[in-house]
DNA sequence: TTAGTTATTTTGATGAGTCAAAATAAATGT
DNA sequence: ACATTTATTTTGACTCATCAAAATAACTAA
């Protein structure tokens, strides 16, 4: 398993090479990681030995496919943890990055998956940064949920993010299936209740947790 | 800040001296930490220098007040994280200890507090191990909540564990104050709803999160 | 007591990650 | 083209946490 130091090196290489294929300089990496350049050179050579990066001496460094895979997984953990800290624990938008810096190295892939499901597979973190998919892709499309959408606005359900039979049965019985139209008439944080209403039908009470599993988009 | 190695040494010393004041042997500590005895001797001397423990050469080691404070804080993190993993993420009862082993060193005191509030200030972790209080006390009394109690059983509310004005107003308006009698008539995991009923009154819907903040005990 | 067993401490070495500072290579300006 | 600036690499040293194995202290049974 990669140490958290290794994970940080790889993550920052990914961030510094945003999109493109360019080489990342030792200096930029040293700056980002808050270490001296000589340390980066040493570590990068070790990372090249372990197959995570390709090192072009005196030019720069680039992630290999394997290095990129690890980096995306760390970034995914980081951003999903941020979602959790803001959406569930109601922490300060500006403070969560530091927290996530620690947690990204401590959570297992198992916890990562469950966190992802709990949060309704968010496409971006609270800052709007895209969250890498489980498969390492970055989807740009973003959806709201019944727990986060604007009250009274007409919506279309696009996705159910809890695959448990229990929850899916509940969804089916209440006609909250993908494609259906719906709107949220009330949301009470104290009691944790969301009231949703279908075009023709009685109001339905859901917990915030349940509502967060139902993804929507504004009706065209 | 204590490294996670230091936190582990202190935590295991606390666990090994369960309750009593006895000295912990180097051998027992080495066993618990899965390191050789010589390593423990070295670390314990360093911990004595930093004021976390008192070392009696060839006899054993004991936590100082400061060492105990740190150890209790780590243990609190460990057990609250276990609660979170089981109660919120629905993880396997048996698997969470390993996860918590990592997370206990990664979460800040801020996250710890919010997790504690989210979970309704549980007195024990999913295994029944008592959770040290914020102040470092181990209360032996354990209560159920409206989210965990037996359905239909007559209960008395003993504690409200969310101090926010918003939630307390909600509690007051619905007469869910400490001392009141109540019973849970229904609990639906899929929708996340708990239905509570006072002796004289209409049924009241609460989210599981809200219900978890209301502690109860069986009526005598 | 005295020999033998067991726990603890000491000693020397290792790997990971780091820094300071010297050496080297590459880029730049005139 | 040559001297200067800038980035990178190398070298030697340090800290933290660890192990293996030798040395030492303490306990135990005759």
The per-residue pLDDT for range A172-204, each reduced to its tens digit, is 789 887 678 999 999 998 888 999 999 888 899
Contact A105 B108 (CB under 8 A): no
Query: B192: helix, coil or strand?
Result: coil
Mean pLDDT of B121-136: 85
**pLDDT tens per residue, range B163-187:** 556 776 787 789 887 678 999 999 9
- Smallest CA-to-CA distance from B8 within B101, B135, B114 is with B101
Q: Which nucleotide is nearest to A26 (CA to C1')?
A: D8
CA distances, A204 to each of A26, A121, A210, A216, B202 (Å): 57, 23, 12, 16, 18
Mean pLDDT of chain B: 89
pLDDT of residue B217: 86
Of the pLDDT bands very low, low, confident and very high (cuts 50, 70, 90), residue A49 is very high
Mean per-residue pLDDT, A93-110 = 91
CA angle B108, B113, B119 (to 5 degrees): 125
Q: Is the CB of residue B41 inside 7 Å of nucleic acid strand C?
A: yes
pLDDT exceeds 70 at position B196: yes
Taking a C-beta distance cutoff of 8 angstroms, is the pair B45, B52 a contact? no
Task: Return the minimum-mean-pLDDT range out of A109-118, B17-26, B116-125.
Answer: B17-26
Residues 6+ apart with CB under 8 A from B217: B143, B144, B155, B156, B158
Six-digit token string for A3? 């140490």
Res. B93: pLDDT tops 80: no
Backbone angles phi, psi at A66, to 5 degrees: -65, -40
Contact A169 B190 (CB under 8 A): yes
CA to C1' distance (Å), from B58 to D26: 8
pLDDT tens, position by position, B149-167: 999 999 988 766 665 567 7
**Could you give the maximum distance between any two Cα atoms of chain A, in Å?**
69
- Report for A11-20, A54-63, A189-198, B190-199: range of highest mean pLDDT: A54-63
Provide the positions of strand C that have an atom within 7 A of a protein CB: 7-12, 16-22, 25-26
Residue percentage of chain A with pLDDT more than 90? 61
Q: Is the CB of A6 under 7 A from strand C?
A: yes
CB B154 within 7 Å, strand D: no
Chain B residue with the nearest C-alpha to that of A209: B192
Please name the residue that has the structure tokens 């369960």: B18
**A165, pLDDT greater than 80:** no
Residue A135's contacts (CB-CB under 8 Å, 6 or more residues apart) are none
Report the relative pairing of strands B155-160 and B144-145 from DSSP bridges.
unpaired
Residues of chain B above pLDDT 70, percent? 91
Q: How far is the CA of A128 from the C1' of C16 (A)?
A: 36
The predicted structure's pLDDT at residue A169: 75
B205–A contact, CB cutoff 8 A: yes
Angle at alpha carbon of residue A179, lines to A166 and A125, rounded to 5°: 75
pLDDT band at A68 (very low <50, low <70, confident <90, very high): very high
Residues paired with residue B216 on neighbouring β-strands, in sequence order: B144, B157
Residue A19: predicted pLDDT: 55
State how beta strands A181-188 and A155-160 pair: antiparallel
Handedness of CA B193, A108, A161, A87 (dihedral sign): positive
User: Using CA atoms, how far apart are residues B126 and B176, in angstroms rounded to an integer?
Assistant: 26
Percent of chain B with pLDDT over 90: 62
Confidence of residue B46 (pLDDT cuts 50, 70, 90): very high
Nucleic strand C under 7 Å from the C-beta of B22: no
Strand C–CB B195 distance below 7 A: no
From the list B114, B192, B206, the residue facing A89 with the nearest CB is B114
Q: Is the pLDDT of residue A29 over 80?
A: yes
Mean predicted confidence (pLDDT) in B204-214: 89
| Least Cα separation, residue A162 to chain B (angstroms) | 10
Q: Which of B89, B111, B208 sits opposite A99 (nearest CB)?
A: B111
Rounded to whole angstroms, the Cα distance separating B129 from B105 reads 19
Q: Domains plus CATH for chain B? A: 4-63 (1.10.10.10), 78-141 (1.10.10.10), 144-218 (2.30.30.90)
- The nucleotide whose C1' lies nearest the CA of B42 is C9
Across the interface, whether the CB atoms of A91 and B102 are under 8 A apart is answered no
Rounded distance in angstroms from the CA atom of residue A39 to the C1' atom of nucleotide D14: 14
pLDDT score of A9? 98
Residue with tokens 């609660």: B83
How does residue A123 score in pLDDT terms, banded at 50, 70 and 90? Answer: confident
Find the distance separating the first CA and the last CA of chain A, reported in whole Å: 47
Segment B67-85, tens digit of pLDDT: 999 999 999 999 999 999 9
Q: Which of B89, B105, B118 sits opposite A114 (nearest CB)?
A: B89
Tell me the mean pLDDT in the region A50-79.
Answer: 97
pLDDT at position B11 is 97
Q: Is A158 on the interface with B (CB under 8 A)?
A: no
CA of A44 to C1' of C26 (A): 20
The SS3 assignment for A78 reads helix
Structure tokens at A44: 């990068």
Distance from CA of B209 to the nearest CA of A (A): 7
């Amino acid at each position: 398993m990669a140490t958290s130091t290794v994970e940080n090196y790889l993550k920052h290489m990914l961030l510094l090479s945003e999109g493109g294929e360019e080489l990342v300089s030792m200096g930029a990496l040293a700056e980002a990681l808050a270490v001296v350049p000589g340390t980066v050179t040493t570590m990068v050579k070790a990372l090249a030995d372990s197959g995570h990066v390709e090192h072009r001496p005196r030019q720069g460094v680039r992630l290999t496919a394997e290095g990129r895979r690890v980096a995306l997984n760390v970034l995914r953990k980081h951003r999903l943890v941020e979602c959790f800290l803001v959406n569930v624990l109601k922490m300060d938008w500006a403070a969560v990055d530091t927290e996530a810096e620690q947690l990204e190295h401590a959570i297992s892939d198992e916890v990562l998956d469950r966190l992802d499901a709990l949060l309704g597979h968010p496409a971006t973190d609270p800052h709007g940064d895209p969250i890498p998919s489980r498969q390492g892709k970055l989807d740009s499309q973003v959806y709201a949920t019944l727990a986060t959408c604007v009250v009274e606005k007409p919506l279309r359900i696009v996705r159910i993010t809890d695959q448990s039979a229990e929850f899916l049965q509940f969804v089916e019985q209440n006609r909250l299936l993908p494609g259906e139209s719906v709107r949220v008439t009330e949301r009470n944080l104290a009691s944790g209740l969301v009231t949703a209403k279908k075009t023709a039908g009685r109001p339905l009470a859901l917990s915030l947790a349940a509502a967060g599993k139902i993804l929507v988009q504004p009706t065209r």
